[in-house]
Amino acid sequence: MSDTEIKKSEDALELVAFCVGDQEYCVNIMSVREIRGWTKETSLPLTPPFVRGVINLRGSVVPVVDLASRLGLETTEPSARHVIIIMQIGEQAVGLVVDAVSDILTILTEKIQPTPDVSSDAARDFVQGVLAMEERMINLLDLSTVLPAVSAEGIAA
Amino acid sequence: MPLSVLAVDDSRTMREMLRLALTDAGFDVSLADDGEHGLEVLQGVTPNVIITDINMPVMDGFGFIEGVRRSTEHRVTPILVLTTESATDLKMRAKNAGATGWIVKPFDKDKLIDAIKRVAA
Amino acid sequence: MDSMADIKQTFFQECDDLLGELESGLLDMESGEGDSETVAAIFRAVHSIKGGAGAFGLDKLVAFAHIFETTLDEVRADRLEATPDVLSVLLRSSDVLADLVGAAQKDEELGEERTAGLVGELSAFVGASADASEEPAAVGEDIAFAPLGMDFDLDDAIGDLDGPEDTQCYTIKFRPQPELYANGNETVLLMRNLADLGEMQVACDESKIPTLDELDPEGAYLAWTITMHTSHSESELLEVFEFVEGDCELEISLDEAPSDTTESDLVDNEATPTGEEVATTDVEGASASAEDEVANKDNVVQLAEQKDKQKPAAAAKASTEKDTSDATIRVNLGRIDRLVNLVGELVINQAMLTQGVIDAGLERGDSVESGLEELKQLTREIQESVMAIRAQPVKALFQRMSRIVREAARATKKSVHLVMEGEMTEVDKTVVERLADPLTHMIRNAVDHGLETAEERIANGKPAEGTVSLTAAHRSGRVVIEVSDDGAGINRERVKKIALEKGLISPDEQLSDSEVDNLLFMPGFSTVDKVSNLSGRGVGMDVVKRAIQAVGGKISISSKPGKGSTFSISLPLTLAILDGMVVEVADQTLVVPLTAIVETLKPTPSDIHELGAGAKVISIRGEFIPVIDAGRSMGYRNEPVDPLHGVVLSVETEDGARAAVIVDTIQDQRQVVIKSLEENFGHVASVAAATILGDGRIALILDVDSIIAREGSARLFHETNLAATG
């Protein structure tokens, strides 16, 4: 299929895909503020384990979430080759630690299939839908649930 | 060249209204907060018409008009006084101080423009 | 750019300022500090509100402002004495005026019952004084003031009136006097305006021009006779000359037989002395209707008077040089906030640069180092100057409280005297704004619950009138605001009983007086079912406390039975900067607010004592203070460090609780820029905020109060300490 053709269509979506462990996820490119190399966070006390801490993003304090841990996968031991995708979720900026960015995709909305009924909580809570790309299955991440407990009320322990 | 107007009023609302109405009508507008400020502004601008409120702090409209009339540069610049309908004695006092005419508040835009055109050369 | 909607916004903003001036002026009068300028300013405030309201068609506001203004005019003209009774009505009127403005802003209507009573009272003043007055005319006339909405789209109705059916012929005789020109009027413009109304022919009379040596360059020697064919009425013709009434001789006469006027007719008319058949139009101001300028002595006299007024007066007042020392400009708050943020970045950047220079290993005494030192100094000065821009006196806030006192006094039927002190104390604008609600609540509490009824007070040998005082002062880098009453003090037995009922304390708990008082701030402590609807001591006091804490402030209470209570709020001067001690805990860098630290010390083994299972206390000058390991408290490590291997920060909370916080090492003491965690995340327990260090990394700012509260063991040692400081 032709890319230009899709881009003209109003039903087209541009997605950023990335690897978390051996799975592939993607998010709408419109929610991505920037992608940067991993830097050491300042850890926050008494927060859930998947909240790695906060980093300085040009003067703003931005929380960083270990996406693998959040999805119930193995906790990431981040290194310089990991990346942080800074997402804009509503009013908040949040960084997601992932292994690597794998692709930028342009797809038609209709290509998104409903999440298959599986028993995994993570799949139900965090995956909006799936799409097939050649051999791969890419999960469309539901950003609204990535930071569930984090509201103005905080995550008081 | 557009006509230029200096409007002197201590009320921010009134100043903004005058500015809106006058700029809409194509005038160049300068503003001042009270009489003393008005005289200061007049050192830098030469308006075709001056509009002033009477009841202002620091220096009221009478003092301002007298000050304008004493200056060499603005001695005969038309000065319109903003006044309420009932204030007949104020009109007379303003005239004695040297006012050219008056605008009755609350004014509508056309009356305002009309009054200016009446006195502007 | 601007629209009427924007201007309406401006109007409401201006109303806020004007209402503030109004109230403060009235309060000055009440305290006997007012003078005639105060009255003038008050009058102006109400007048300006009325004027703006009229332009926006806010009829109810106009109507009330008008009656209010009329009464104030009586005071201004010394026809009505500003007795306490009058001032009380005026103050309540200012409250209602504020409410009307508020209602108008929200597009709501204020119930008639709010204004009706006052309208009666205000009118009574006017009526009473008008009877005694010699000149009630102005007032009576003014009452007919009809609000007229400003509609910029309205076509000028008068201008559109054309289509002459009945053309008539008028003869206008016009002789300007020098004043006409001196006041900036021009004959040529009058002619032009007149020409718009119909066809006209003009003849000029030059006969009065003197010889050159007698000619006054400022004199007026020409006269004109105009013959006009017009469908407009005589009064419309007169309107053209509206501005020059009194500055000219003017006669307008209707020619009985309209005919083709010729030049000779005109000359004839001019030559003819004003005849009986000519209707003389007597213009307002009477003296101008003189029939013959030479013969009319009155006119000459008037002319002379005006000359007097205009010429020599010139030299007299040369006060046009304005003192610019307190000149102000209005700046959009967004711009200032941007500046504040930029300066914050500058501070961080300067710290990073300093760090970089240190890392580069430059020798001491290097010029780079001294340059950096100067940069640091400058940065700090810029920062302070920028913060000063945001600072505002608490005066406006305090004035709002005077209204709260009046309302609360009325609702509780108590007589209350409000004493204010330190109104000019400056605090960050945001802090001032966020204080309004908690302060309102505290003031209501003071009147409603702090003060006894008049009977009780008299029975206790106190004056019937209660006193509530509101003070502000700078104290060691913070602003302290106190609300005190001279009432009965906190009924501790009742507070304990309530706390017990609510399960906040256990029956066998031994509480100090201060601890009992502090129960008022506990969430869940509420005496709402026992008190009037106005407020409840304790109702929302936990909310008050949280609101104060949200702006980095602390609140404490002290009370003496029979003497009264004092609530004391301590606030940071700014919300953006904090003096902190940079410390290391379990490889994490933390900042401890300097205001919380009493002292730092390296303990010796003999200072440390075990207390029960695992709990330690440290003895500092004979006082036993609980030890809190910051690392463990923050969840950085599970086992506390040995206090002997760390540094002890002796800290104190606003309500007097003390603790010894153990950190690993102290790095530095410096100003840090406060960065919000809430913006992108949320509140984190034990953390007040974050900051950015010289190396660009984030450090958390410790919330000392919350750490101590979480540790819970503080209470035990609370009492001794309070007894010592209280």
Domain with residues C168-293, CATH architecture: 2-Layer Sandwich (3.30)
Q: Which residues in chain C (246-305) have CB-CB distances under 8 A to chain B?
A: 246-247, 284-285
What does the alpha-carbon distance between residue C661 and residue C633 come to, in Å, rounded to a whole number?
A: 10
Tokens 């999960």 appear where? Answer: A139
In the prediction, which pLDDT does C281 show? 40
Q: Identify the helix (H) or strand (E) that includes residue C472.
A: strand C466-475
Please state the domain count of chain B.
Answer: 1
Q: Which domain holds residue B40?
A: 4-119
The reply to whether residue A45 touches residue C684, judged by beta carbons under 8 angstroms, is yes
CA dist., res. C560 & res. C549, Å (int) = 25
**Residues B47 and B56 sit within 8 Å (Cβ to Cβ):** no
Mean pLDDT of C558-586: 85
Please report where in the chains the tokens 């501005």 appear, as a residue: C243
Give residues 29 to 48 of B whose Cβ lies within 8 Å of C: 36-37, 39-40
Q: What is the pLDDT of residues C343-402, one digit of tens each?
A: 877 877 887 788 788 888 777 677 888 888 888 888 888 877 887 787 888 888 888 888
Instruction: Return the pLDDT at A109.
Output: 85
Instruction: Return d(Cα C511, Cα C158) in angstroms, integer.
Output: 83
Which residues touch C228 (CB under 8 Å, ≥6 apart)? C169, C170, C171, C172, C194, C197, C198, C199, C200, C201, C237
Amino acid code (one letter) for C244? V
Which has more pLDDT, B106 or C177?
C177
Mean pLDDT score of chain B, rounded to an integer? 84
How far C356 CA sits from the closest chain A CA (Å)?
Answer: 18
CATH number of C577-725: 2.40.50.180
Residue B56: which residues within 8 A CB-CB, separation 6 or more?
B8, B9, B10, B33, B34, B35, B64, C44
Q: Is A68 on the interface with C (CB under 8 A)?
A: no
What long-range pairs does C94-100 form, CB within 8 A, spacing at least 24? C94/C19, C94/C22, C94/C23, C94/C26, C94/C68, C95/C403, C95/C406, C95/C407, C96/C64, C97/C19, C97/C22, C97/C46, C97/C49, C97/C61, C97/C64, C97/C65, C97/C68, C98/C19, C98/C23, C98/C403, C100/C60, C100/C61, C100/C64, C100/C65
| Closest residue in C to A149 (Cα–Cα) | C682
- Residue among C680, C682, C690 minimizing CB distance to A153: C682
Where do the H-state alpha helices sit in C312-423?
313-316, 333-359, 367-390, 395-412
Average confidence (pLDDT) over C654-660? 76
Q: Is residue B73 within 8 angstroms of chain C, CB to CB?
A: no
- Section C226-241 average pLDDT: 81
pLDDT mean over C405-427: 88
B interface test, pick of C238, C307, C320 with most B CB neighbours within 10 Å: C320
- What's the pLDDT at A27? 93
DSSP state of C394: T
User: What per-residue confidence (pLDDT) applies to C294?
Assistant: 39
Nearest 10 degrees: Cα torsion C211, C214, C216, C217: 50
The subunits that touch chain A, with at least 3 C-beta pairs less than 8 Å apart, are C
Contact (Cβ atoms closer than 8 angstroms) between residue C476 and residue C596? no
What residues of C are in contact with residue B102 (Cβ under 8 Å)? 243
C713 pLDDT more than 70:
no
Hey, which residues 691-720 in chain C have their CB within 8 Å of chain A?
A: 692, 696-700
Backbone dihedral angles phi then psi of residue C281, each to the nearest 5 degrees = -90, 115
**Calpha distance C608→C620 (Å, rounded):** 9
Residue C648 has pLDDT above 70, yes or no: yes
B1-21 pLDDT, tens digit per residue, is 788 899 999 888 888 888 888
Model pTM score? 0.47
Based on the structure, what is the number of domains in chain A?
A: 1
Q: In what order do the strands lie in the sheet with A23-28?
A: A100-108, A12-20, A23-28, A136-141, A127-133
- Cα separation of C432 and C395, whole Å? 10
What pLDDT does C289 receive? 37
Question: Crossing angle, helix B88-97 and helix B61-70, to 10 degrees?
Answer: 20
Q: Please tell me the distance in Å from C217's CA to the nearest CA on chain B.
A: 14
| Phi/psi-derived region of residue B114, left when phi > 0, alpha when psi is between -120 and 50, beta in every other case | alpha
- C176 touching B (Cβ < 8 Å): no
Nearest in space to C519 (alpha carbons), one of C535, C536, C498, C548: C498
Query: In this predicted structure, what is the pLDDT of residue C77?
Result: 82
For residue C59, give the H/E element and its range: helix C59-76
Percent over 70 (pLDDT), chain B: 96
Q: Does A118 touch chain C (CB under 8 A)?
A: no
pLDDT digit string (tens) for A8-17?
A: 556 788 899 9
Mean pLDDT computed over A24-38: 92
CATH of the domain at A69: 2.40.50.180
All structural domains of chain C with their residue ranges: 4-143, 168-293, 333-391, 394-572, 577-725
Q: What is residue C165's predicted lDDT score, i.e. its pLDDT?
A: 54
Please compute the mean of the pLDDT values over residues C586-614 and round it to a whole number: 85
Cβ neighbours of residue C203 closer than 8 Å, sequence gap 6 or more: C224, C225, C226, C227, C263, C266, C267, C270
> What is the average per-residue pLDDT within C469-489?
87
Terminal-to-terminal C-alpha distance of chain C: 59
C152 touches chain B (CB under 8 A): yes
pLDDT at C724 over 90: no
From chain B, the residues in CB contact with C52 under 8 A are 11, 13-14
Does the beta carbon of C148 lie under 8 angstroms from any beta carbon of chain B?
A: yes
CA distance, residue C576 to nearest chain A CA (Å) = 13
Does domain C4-143 bear CATH number 3.10.180.10? no
CB B63, CB B56: distance < 8 Å: no
pLDDT band at C146 (very low <50, low <70, confident <90, very high): very low
The structure tokens listed for C22 are 């109004």
Range of the domain at A23: 3-145
pLDDT class of C484 with cuts at 50, 70, 90: very high
Do the two domains C4-143 and C394-572 of this chain adopt the same fold? no
Q: Which two tokens stand for residue C707?
A: 């750490």
The predicted structure's pLDDT at residue C529: 43
How many CA atoms within 13 Å lie on the side-chain side of B121? Answer: 13
**Shortest distance, CA C405 to any CA of chain B (angstroms):** 30
Chain C touched by A94 (CB under 8 Å): yes
Query: Is pLDDT of C258 > 50?
Result: no
Residue whose tokens read 């056309």: B110
Pairing verdict, β C248-254 and C168-176: antiparallel
Q: Does C2 touch chain B if contact means CB atoms closer than 8 Å?
A: yes
How far is CA C387 from each of CA C343, C382, C430, C573, C610, rounded to the nearest angstrom?
10, 9, 11, 9, 46
Residue C256 confidence (pLDDT): 65
Residue C67 pLDDT > 70, yes or no? yes
Contacts of A33 in chain C (CB under 8 A): none
Q: Is the pLDDT of residue B62 over 90?
A: no
Instruction: State the pLDDT at residue C712.
Output: 61
Instruction: Establish if A154 belongs to a structural domain.
Output: no
Q: Which of residues 34-53 of C touch B (CB under 8 A)?
A: 40-41, 43-44, 47-48, 51-52
The answer on pLDDT for C140 being more than 50 is: no
| Region B41-64 average pLDDT | 87
Does the domain spanning C394-572 belong to CATH 3.30.565.10? yes
State the pLDDT at residue C138. 37
Residue C165 contacts A, CB cutoff 8 Å:
no
Which among B86, B111, B119 is the nearest to C145, CB-wise? B86
- pLDDT tens column, C352-361: 788 788 888 7
User: Is the predicted pLDDT of residue C44 greater than 60, yes or no?
Assistant: yes
Contact C680 A93 (CB under 8 A): yes
C583: exposed, middle or buried (C-beta count within 10 Å: 0-12, 13-18, 19+)? Answer: buried
Nearest by CB to residue C320, choosing from B67, B99, B108, is B67
Beta bridge partners of A65: A51, A96
Q: Which helix (H) or strand (E) holds A27?
A: strand A23-28
B16 interfaces chain C, CB cutoff of 8 Å: yes
pLDDT band for position C655 (50/70/90)? low
Q: Rounded to whole angstroms, how far apart are CA atoms C434 and C42?
A: 28
Taking the Cβ of residue A156 and every Cβ of chain C, the question of whether any pair is shorter than 8 Å is answered with yes
CA distance B76 to chain C (A): 4
Q: How far apart are CA A62 and CA A88, in angstroms?
A: 11
Residue-wise DSSP of B16-64: HHHHHHHHHTT-EEEEESSHHHHHHHHTT---SEEEEESS-SSS-HHHH
User: What are the helix (H) ranges across C391-483?
Assistant: 395-412, 429-445, 454-459
* C-alpha pair distances (Å), C590 with each of A143, B88, C687: 31, 72, 10
pLDDT digits (tens, 9 = 90+) for C544-553: 887 787 777 7
Please, what is the average pLDDT of chain C? 75
CATH number for the domain harbouring residue B48: 3.40.50.2300
CA distance C704 to C654: 10
Structure-token pair, residue C268: 């004839």
User: Is the link from the previous residue into A114 a cis peptide, with omega within 30 of 0?
Assistant: no
In a domain, A46, yes or no: yes
The pLDDT > 90 percentage for chain C reads 7
Say yes or no for a CB contact (<8 Å) between C317 and B63: yes
Taking the C-alpha atoms of residue C192 and residue C202, their distance in angstroms, rounded to an integer, is 11
Q: Which of B41-55, B58-72, C18-32, C244-258 has the lowest mean pLDDT?
A: C244-258
Q: Taking the CA atoms of chain B, what radius of gyration do you get in angstroms?
A: 13
